[in-house]
Amino acid sequence: MPSLFEYLLVYYFMPPPFNLVIFYPSILNLLIPDFIKMALPLESNYVDYTQFILASIVSIMVLILGYKIYKKDPSYWLNRVFTAFYVGLAAAAISFNLGLFISPTALIVGEQFMLSFIMVSLGLLLVVAVGLNYGEVQILKPKTIIPIILLVALPLMVLWLPGTILTWLPQPIMIRDVAPPHTAFSDYILVSLLTTLILGVGVLSYFLIKVYRASAGIVKRRIFFFLTGILFALLLAAASTSIASITDIHFFDIITPLVLLVGLSIVYYGFSISE
């Protein structure tokens, strides 16, 4: 909000519109409706370009790893599910970054897509965990698949409800800076996402540890790397993203895709283990 001094100054001197734009951006910020601000192009900087390039490279590498897993045995259910998991996380890595160069609205939608892909990927991991314990047939039974679908669907419904992602526009210093917003999640979506993540990771860890203890040899080693890589990718990437959002330190936005790649590479290494 402009100060009383700004109001009095503009009223007294009545500068031309051009000077109003340059010297009184807070007044301009008041005059432009929010829906126009949210459609204005975002101003990008070197951090945004670095983040986008890095996320793009990581997404391509993750897709390559997923394809290599699929090609090992396209008919095996575990390979197909893990490939879909890799595709989901690759899409999540790039979704948010695309909005950096379009508009605030695109940035928010990209953030919603990013979180949606993460939730779906978590559901795929739960399918893997159940399948490794009870077999492929058990996955298709309603009592198994319905709880997994609900665990993923409920936070997705909350995520796409209007008002789940809140925006506010800071006072700009130039006309082109009117558009970029800060974003924050509403309490409902925060509780929903955190509950899903904690519950999903807990159930996933329980089933993978259970099958790990019952296994031996190459299977035991593979499960170990599956669990290590998955937890590394999900927990550390989520922590890095959260720190970036809370502290506004962009360094954590940059390393998040790298953390994701390291975790998924560990999982891929588990697939590569042979006798």
What are the residue boundaries of the structural domains of the chain, listed by start? Answer: 32-201
pTM: 0.76
The Cα angle at residue 153 between residues 115 and 192, in degrees rounded to 5: 60
Which CA distances in Å does 77 have to 127, 133, 170, 192? 10, 14, 49, 30
Tokens standing for residue 35: 């829906």
Using CA atoms, how far apart are residues 6 and 27, in angstroms rounded to an integer?
A: 8
- Bridge partner list, 168: 182
Residue pair 27/2 in contact (Cβ under 8 Å)? The answer is yes
- C-alpha radius of gyration, the chain, whole number: 23
Say whether 233 sits in a helix, a strand or coil: helix
CA distance 110 to 92: 9
CA–CA separation, 99 and 95 (whole Å): 7
Query: Which pLDDT score, from 0 to 100, does residue 173 have?
Result: 34
Per-residue pLDDT tens listing for the chain (275 residues): 445 555 555 554 544 544 444 444 555 555 666 666 666 666 667 777 888 888 899 999 999 999 999 998 898 888 999 999 999 989 988 887 777 777 777 777 888 888 889 889 989 989 988 888 888 788 878 888 888 888 888 888 877 876 666 554 443 333 344 444 455 556 667 677 778 888 888 888 888 889 888 888 888 898 999 989 988 888 887 777 767 666 667 677 778 888 889 999 999 998 887 65
Instruction: Give bridge partners of residue 165 from the DSSP assignment.
Output: 185
Structure tokens at 190: 């925060």
Question: How far is 184 from 139, CA to CA, in rounded Å?
Answer: 36
pLDDT for the residue 45: 73
State the pLDDT at residue 9.
53
Q: Which residue in the block uniquely carries the two structure tokens 């779906």?
A: 120
